[in-house]
Chain A
Amino acid sequence: MKGEWGSIAELAAAVAAGRTTATEQVHEALTRLGRIDPAPEGINAFISYDAEVAAARAAEVDGAIAEGRGAGVLAGVPVAIKDNFCTLDHPTTCGSRILEGFRAPYEATAVRRLREAGAVVVGKTNLDEFAMGSTTENSAFGPTRNPRDLTRTAGGSSGGSAAAVAAGIVPAALGSDTGGSVRQPAAYCGIVGLKPSYGRISRYGLVAFASSLDTVGIMSRSVADAALLLEVVAGADRFDATAANIPVPQFRDALEAGLEGLVVGIPREYFPEELDPGIASACRAAIDRIREAGAEVREISLPHTRYAIPTYYLIAPAEASSNLARFDGVHYGMRAPDATSSAAVYDETRSIGFGAEVKRRIMLGTYALAAGHYDAYYARAQSVRALITRDFRQVFDSGVDVIFTPTTFHLPPRLGEKVQDIYRQYYGDIFTVTANLAALPAISIPVGTTEGLPVGGQFIADRWDEVTLLRAAAALERLLSE
């Protein structure tokens, strides 16, 4: 299902050496897109693409190489961008009706850095509206199908990016991860999903959902590809004060180091009885391989894990309700056509423009921040967040180098499968939200299959330690491919 793409480094080297061209690679991506993506029968990974513009951008890359102006490390690599990043060549919708007709007048830093390294954006991918959801069914542009089983969801919220990579349309894509939105769809689609430390990649131009949790993420076919893209997009940015001004390591240098000598923590709270038995089995088999490869596997406890979902579902909606106040029918996108007063412009635009999940989270966040509720809800959630962060601190201070867990609780749900209890639906994020709350880097890689569907295993490392994170992930990836 992964298409014909080789490693990204090799592809870029081939373009730089003239063995192929950016134009040929982008044509290949667009041909595959046109064949397998269009809804209703297709995967529906893309909200928009523009073959002419992509071809023109590819021609610029080829022209630069022909003229000896150099080739970037991503020369000619076709990439897809989740449609909550501002881009110059495409509309930016966030999967929402409320941004109908909006074209960003500026470009996200992560996208710009990809382009400056020679990558070519072929299109913008589908997502749950404003990245709120875990199936990509909360999109105004229809759900994305899972390329591994077209009757199932691709996960979310970066389901379009995950499906585009898994189906081999592009070798890599950008996503965003606020509570697992890169790692969970990566697990569901059988690819690699990397969420670096909060602050490792600039959020400039990523449409804000929950600003203290939002992280730019990378979706790819291998850990090495993810490491390469991270080298390109990471680093300080004068347009995002939360992008840390610390050195960006050569992440690829550590990929061959192996697992020997590492202490890998297995948190007992991440293997509850209710965990899907196929997922549990695949992850336990992976742990056996980790141990056999020379790592010390140590059972650990992260005792406040059970509080992560209520904590997340207070903090994220609270921040979302504030961030989404800007969509009012005046500044961006659509405006309710028949509104006859300013209040009606705001109220009707938002009522027509937002979908049910976004409204639900705005309501929840507004409630949590309302006078009289703030201390009981938002302030308390921030304190519990500190406890969750402290759990991880104590584990890493005790000598654990990296933590291994399942990425998801369940297999990808079938399209249209309704979960009546909204909290039960939210609870599916339990293994991924903790890394966002604690600002830690985490990665999901395929660790096996069950019932013919991929299973994702997750590594979590200490803050800023993507080197160990990627080293462990690359080592397990090699072990499982033997």
Chain B
Amino acid sequence: MAVSREEVIQIAALARLRLTEEEVDQFADQLNSVLGHVEELTALDVSSVPMVGGVSEKGIARRSEELGPDLLHLSPSAFAPAWEDGFFSLPRLAALDQSELDEGFADKASLESAGRPDEASVTGEVG
């Protein structure tokens, strides 16, 4: 299955990577090279082989939901670039931009995270 330039551009959008024209061509070649060899796997009959779901023989051990000591050696106020009143302070990421919508970049996530125009910053509570 040959990967087209259009597919490379689509995959890059899913991966949140902006590629140059040169990179699009390069990745198309390289993905085709690797995927060409991956085709070897289709020679194997795996219909009766269970898919490996994980690497733990007995499954992942569960533990009780206990509140342990705080793991952070630094307080959030010490490592966050900006910290106000118990909240991380972030630069305003975006105003809602019609041209961006037109370009198709704005997905649900970016709409939801778009800042309100009258605020200088958006804050989020520490989870």
Residues of A near any B CB (own CB < 8 A): 88, 103, 105-107, 198-199, 212, 238-239, 241-242, 244-245, 304, 306-307, 309-311, 313-314, 321, 325, 328, 330, 335, 340-348, 350-351, 354, 359-360, 362-364, 366-367, 370, 376-377, 379-387, 389, 421-423, 426, 439, 463
**Are A341 and B93 in contact, CB atoms less than 8 angstroms apart?**
yes
CB-CB nearest 4 A-B residue pairs: A383-B46, A342-B93, A341-B94, A343-B105
Q: For the complex formed, measure the closest distance between the CB of A343 and the CB atoms of chain B, giving whole angstroms.
A: 4
Given contacts A342-B109, A347-B18, A386-B52, 18 further A-B contacts (CB under 8 A): A105-B74, A212-B54, A309-B37, A314-B38, A341-B110, A343-B110, A351-B17, A359-B19, A359-B27, A363-B8, A363-B12, A363-B15, A363-B31, A367-B7, A367-B35, A370-B11, A376-B1, A382-B51
Q: Which residues of A contact B72 (CB under 8 A)?
A: 105-106
Q: For the complex formed, measure the closest distance between the CB of A265 and the CB atoms of chain B, giving whole angstroms.
A: 22
Does residue B125 face the partner (Cβ distance < 8 Å to A)?
no
Q: Which residues of A contact B105 (CB under 8 A)?
A: 341, 343-344, 347
Residues of B near any A CB (own CB < 8 A): 1, 3, 7-8, 11-12, 14-19, 23, 27, 30-31, 33-38, 40-42, 44, 46, 49-57, 60-63, 68, 71-74, 76, 78-79, 90-91, 93-95, 97, 100, 105-107, 109-110, 113-114
Q: Which residues of B contact A342 (CB under 8 A)?
A: 93-94, 109-110, 113-114
**Are A387 and B61 in contact, CB atoms less than 8 angstroms apart?**
no
* Selected contact of A242 from candidates B23, B33, B55, CB within 8 Å: B55
Q: For the complex formed, measure the closest distance between the CB of B62 and the CB atoms of chain A, giving whole angstroms.
A: 7
Q: Which residues of A contact B76 (CB under 8 A)?
A: 105
How far is it, in angstroms, between the C-alpha of A246 and the C-alpha of B71 when the chains are bound? 24
Known: A107-B73, A345-B93. A422 touches B34 (CB 8 A): yes
* Selected contact of B44 from candidates A107, A335, A360, A387, CB within 8 Å: A387
Closest to B30 in A: A422
Q: Which residues of A contact B12 (CB under 8 A)?
A: 363
* Selected contact of B3 from candidates A242, A348, A367, A383, CB within 8 Å: A367
Q: For the complex formed, measure the closest distance between the CB of A245 and the CB atoms of chain B, giving whole angstroms.
A: 6
